[in-house]
Amino acid sequence: MTVQDSPTDLHAFTEAWQEWHSRQEARLADPHGFLAITGLHWLSEEPQRFPDAPGAWRTGADGVTVVLGEGEELVLADTTVRGEHHFGVLPERSSVNAVWGDAVIEVAKRGGHDIIRPRHPDTPLRAAFTGTPAYAPHPRWTVTGRYEAFDHAADSLLVLFTDATSGVTTYAANRALALDPPAEDGTVTLDFNRATNLPCAYTDLATCPLPPAENRLPLAIDAGEKIPYERGGS
């Protein structure tokens, strides 16, 4: 009898998945998570003020700078800053969070461009969040593969993919699958039951990478998270 035929093993598998999914939902519902984003502001050399963030923001060869007006302040790593503050040059895909009252101002670089994304806990999208629909978990969607490194082994892996369900029951652009570090022989376990939506599945105020051509699977992966309710999922 295999795990998918054993009621006891299937129950334990389902319970473990439900615990994982609950953690995913809690992360999404975080007061300063992606559902709390109120704006995606692309910075330029010309100072700009935005309605959902303090100060005038600009970027240039020396990186991101904000000039805070009278009565405005940000908190960075428990240090309160006022007046002019230089965030410096940010590496690609990195971000810094600055606290402003009950909000967080994310300063980041995406696609070679400096941006800020204010996150306010009281956004309607976050307030209306009721969870993400997903396929019922089943062990048949857990498979073993082999990781072949380019120059060195990775501490963790994130696989982006689409499949025949993309744009039908799952989000069209991509889904993501986080993997544990490979074993010494390169073996990895892919549990498609834990395929997740990226932030762009919930909000247009997020930037998400697309999967490479070889990760566009021709079969239907009826596992993992479905199209969010926020995008008309069911």
The fraction of the chain above a pLDDT of 70, given in percent, is: 96
pLDDT tens by residue, 74-103: 999 999 999 999 999 999 999 999 999 999
Same domain, 120 and 142: no
What is the predicted pLDDT for the residue at 1? Answer: 33
Query: Does any domain span residue 8?
Result: no
Mean pLDDT, rounded, for 22-43: 95
Domain end position, chosen among 126, 145, 178: 126
Same domain, 45 and 103: yes
pLDDT tens by residue, 205-222: 988 889 999 999 999 999
Query: Does any domain span residue 66?
Result: yes
The amino acid at residue 153 is A
Contact 112, 132 (CB under 8 A): no
pLDDT tens by residue, 139-189: 999 999 998 877 667 677 899 999 999 999 999 999 999 999 888 888 999
Contact 223, 193 (CB under 8 A): yes
Same domain, 118 and 79: yes
Q: Give Cβ neighbours of residue 132 (< 8 Å, ≥ 6 apart).
A: 24, 25, 28, 197, 225, 226, 228, 229, 233
The amino acid at residue 76 is L
What total number of domains does the chain contain? 2
Query: Does any domain span residue 120?
Result: yes
For the beta sheet containing 56-60, the strands, ordered from the edge strand earlier in sequence to the opposite edge, are 48-49, 56-60, 63-67, 84-88
Q: Choose among 1, 3, 228: nearest CA to 138.
A: 3
163 three-class SS? coil
**Alpha carbon 2 to chain centroid distance?**
34
Is residue 124 over pLDDT 70? Answer: yes
Is residue 3 over pLDDT 50? Answer: no
Its domain, for residue 113, covers 34-126
Query: Does any domain span residue 177?
Result: yes
Domain end position, chosen among 69, 100, 126: 126
Contact 98, 78 (CB under 8 A): no
Query: HEC states along 193-232?
Result: HHCECCHHHCCCCCCCCCCCHHHECCCCCCCCECCCHHHC
What is the predicted pLDDT for the residue at 167? Answer: 97
Is residue 54 over pLDDT 90? Answer: yes
- d(CA 108, CA 112) in angstroms, rounded, equals 10
